[in-house]
Structure 1
Amino acid sequence: MSFPMPVSSTLASDYERVASAIAFIQSHHHHQPDLATIARHVHLSEHHFQKLFTRWAGVSPKRFVQLLTLENTKQRLTTTQSLLAVALDSGLSSPSRLHDLYVRFEAMTPADYRSGGAGLVISYGLHPTRFGTALIAQTDRGICNLLFCEPHDFRRDVDWLKQQWPQAEFQQQPEHTQSVADRLNQSLAGDNQQPLTVLVKGTNFQIQVWRALLTLPLGGLFTYQDIANRIDKPKAARAVGTAIGANPVGYLIPCHRVIRATGDIGGYRWGPLRKTVMLGWEAAQSPEDA
Structure 2
Amino acid sequence: MNNYDKIATAIDYISNNFREQPDLQQMAAAAHMSPFHFQRVFAEWAGVTPKKFLQYLTLTHAKNILKDTKATVFDAAFETGLSGTGRLHDLFINIESMTPGEFKNGGKALHINYSFAESPFGNILVASTPKGICHMAFADNREAALAALTAQFPNATFTQMVDLIQQNTLYIFTQDWSRLSDIKLHLKGTAFQLKVWEALLKIPMGNLTTYSDLARRIDHPNASRAVGTAVGQNPVAFLIPCHRVIKATGELGQYHWGSIRKTAMVGWEAAKTNPNEY
Q: TM-score, normalised by structure 2?
A: 0.90
Task: Quote the residue 1:47 is aligned against.
Answer: 36
Could you list the runs of 5+ residues in structure 2 that have no partner in the other structure?
none
Task: Quote the residue 1:224 is aligned against.
Answer: 211
How far has the Cα of 1:84 moved from its partner? 3.3
Question: Residues of 2 paired with 1:82 and 1:107: CA distance?
Answer: 31
Q: For 1:184, which of 172, 181, 190 is the aligned residue?
A: 172
**1:191 match: secondary structure:** helix
User: Are 2:82 and 2:92, in contact at CA under 8 Å, matched by a contact in 1?
Assistant: no
Question: Residues of 2 paired with 1:85 and 1:185: CA distance?
Answer: 22
Question: Residues of 2 paired with 1:160 and 1:208: CA distance?
Answer: 23
User: Are 2:132 and 2:165, in contact at CA under 8 Å, matched by a contact in 1?
Assistant: no
Q: Which moved more, 1:63-72 or 1:18-27?
A: 18-27
Task: Quote the residue 1:122 is aligned against.
Answer: 112
Tell me the percent identity.
42
**2:260 match: secondary structure:** helix
Question: Residues of 2 paired with 1:284 and 1:27: CA distance?
Answer: 19
1:258 aligns with 2:245: yes
Question: Residues of 1 paired with 2:111 and 2:49: CA distance?
Answer: 44
1:276 aligns with 2:263: yes
Question: Residues of 1 paired with 2:105 and 2:212: CA distance?
Answer: 33
How far has the Cα of 1:237 moved from its partner? 0.3
Amino acid at match of 2:187: V
Q: Which moved more, 1:130-139 or 1:33-42?
A: 33-42
Could you list the runs of 5+ residues in structure 1 that have no partner in the other structure?
1-11
User: Are 1:127 and 1:178, in contact at CA under 8 Å, matched by a contact in 2?
Assistant: no
Q: Deviations over 1:73-111 (max 9, x none)?
A: 01001122222377379xx73343656723222111233
Task: Quote the residue 1:4 is aligned against.
Answer: none
Q: TM-score, normalised by structure 1?
A: 0.86
Q: For 2:223, which of 236, 253, 256 is the aligned residue?
A: 236
Task: Quote the residue 1:172 is aligned against.
Answer: 160
User: Are 1:136 and 1:145, in contact at CA under 8 Å, matched by a contact in 2?
Assistant: yes
Q: 1:84 to 1:38 in 2, by over 3 A?
A: closer
Q: For 2:14, which of 12, 17, 25 is the aligned residue?
A: 25
1:211 aligns with 2:183: no
Amino acid at match of 1:82: A
User: Are 2:103 and 2:153, in contact at CA under 8 Å, matched by a contact in 1?
Assistant: no
| RMSD over aligned Cα atoms | 2.3
